[in-house]
Amino acid sequence: MLSQIIRAAGLGLAVNTKRPICLAKHIRPFATVDSNTPRVQPTPPRTKATPKSHDRATFTIRDGPVFSGKSFGAASNISGEAVFTTSLVGYPESLTDPSYRGQILVFTQPLIGNYGIPSTARDEHGLFRHFESPNLQAAGVVVADVAEQYSHWTAVKSLGEWCAEEGVPAVSGVDTRAIVTYLREQGSSLARITIGEEYDADQDEAFIDPEQIDLVRKVSTKAPFHVSSATGDYHVAVIDCGVKENILRSLVSRGASVTAFPYDYPIHKVAHHFDGVFISNGPGDPIHCQDTVYHLRRLMESSQLPIMGICLGHQLLALAAGARTIKLKYGNRAHNIPALDRTTGRCHITSQNHGYAVDSNTLPSEWKEYFVNLNDHSNEGLIHQSRPIFGTQFHPEAKGGPMDSSYLFDMYLENVSRYKKSQAIFQPEREHRPSPLLVDLLAKERVGVVPTTGMENLLRMGGAGEEAARAASAA
């Protein structure tokens, strides 16, 4: 195991597991519905900060309305998919969530930024205390009104200052009610933010469609990294599709040391060295992750390991099981969405951020629907009839709350504990904790993940931006 992971980490020959991907076969329908080594943090790559702009700003929906407002972020032009969230709080966590990569986030809450942006302080596990990743992930920010003056004991800067530092444009003074009404009626749409320029209809051809780009490749670690737990002896393999810091925290704080792997790593080849496998959240269309689906299918065929998936991880688990996914009309992004547990009849208020869902009608007979959305009746979870495998579309670890469903991590670790005890009968000599050498050699932070700007700023190239963005994603 150690040699395999070291090679994948770039300390030897790289593991090449590329398989041909045929997207033409996946035409999808639309639906309306003891080694606690201190973590030495590498310096993350930074975007090129731009001066904070207060120029005229234009938010343009492709083939739709144009909204004029004022810039309060970076002086840069971008394109992406316009989506909206009804969350009242938690904007620092939302904007650093890798699942928002390539998207322009519209807030329905009338005032955003009143409690500022906190510091990059880390907790006892070496994880960001207030953020879900090292950088701002959304391509752009749109609000009705922004608080230039903030007030909170954790705040160190304003929302506008943060956006400017991260190179992300932001617009205020627009009618977000009209924007959300349009998106609900027409569905999530391509849009662009233009700073300091008049709207030019001829530039509509320069819209970049994030769905055509493998966004998971951009947010996933490029080599394995490790986070140690001082409170337990479990060891879980995480497939990093854009994992949030609080998912890692939810595992480590419950006694599970974590080794995170790139999203396309052949996890079935090393899974027998772990007590469980976890598939993280991430951005974009799950169909782009065909390698991950193949490796998960091989894993379930060859191992009895406990498996849990969240958000994109849930969708990939379903695809590996033989089910299909669909694109929702405008998705679910909020902190107050009711999900019904079909096994108990109880309802949980959940945090969600997704534009795709599992088609529960396509689940094989050995699987059943676990949770269902009480707003649009879309699937919110699946569970195997006899094996310790389940996934949820919502986020039980949501840093901005609610925490109603956080017990699912306890349920997963109970599965891990039972599996570990059963293996001890057949492999009594098996090492209970990660190898100290492994812990020392592996990075302690996601590796090689670049900030959000760059791909989106290819829009500055004009009509060639979309073609260049596709070329960049294939590189």
Interatomic CA distance for residues 181 and 167, integer angstroms: 28
Interatomic CA distance for residues 82 and 138, integer angstroms: 10
Q: Which residues contact 270 (CB under 8 A, 6 or more apart)?
A: 1, 4, 5, 237
Question: Would you give the end-to-end CA distance of the chain in angstroms?
Answer: 29
The closest of 135, 43, 198 to 454, measured between CA atoms, is: 135
Question: Helix or strand or coil: residue 189?
Answer: strand
> Does the N-terminal peptide bond of residue 364 adopt cis geometry, omega within 30 degrees of 0?
no
Query: Which segments within 385-424 are labelled E, that is strand?
Result: 389-392
Distances, alpha carbon 247 to alpha carbons 121, 193, 240, 241, 251, in Å: 17, 31, 11, 12, 6
Identity of residue 303: S
395 among known catalytic residues:
yes
Interatomic CA distance for residues 87 and 180, integer angstroms: 13
Structure-block tokens of residue 54: 């207060």
Strands 347-359 and 324-341: antiparallel
Instruction: Give the single-character DSSP code of 10.
Output: I
Beginning with the edge strand found earlier in the chain, give each strand of the sheet holding 367-369 in spatial order: 225-227, 256-262, 234-240, 276-279, 307-310, 389-392, 381-384, 367-369
347 among known catalytic residues:
no
Angle at 180 between CA 325 and CA 90, to 5 degrees: 80
Q: What sign has the CA pseudo-torsion 284, 290, 291, 293?
A: positive
Strands 256-262 and 234-240: parallel
Task: Find tokens 């971008």 and name the residue.
Answer: 78
Catalytic residue among 163, 273, 395, 445: 395
Task: Find tokens 């689906």 and name the residue.
Answer: 293
Catalytic residue among 163, 311, 354, 445: 311
Interatomic CA distance for residues 32 and 452, integer angstroms: 29
Catalytic residue among 165, 166, 397, 456: 397
397 among known catalytic residues:
yes
- Do residues 260 and 228 lie in contact, with contact meaning Cβ atoms separated by under 8 Å? no
Residues identified as active-site = 311, 395, 397
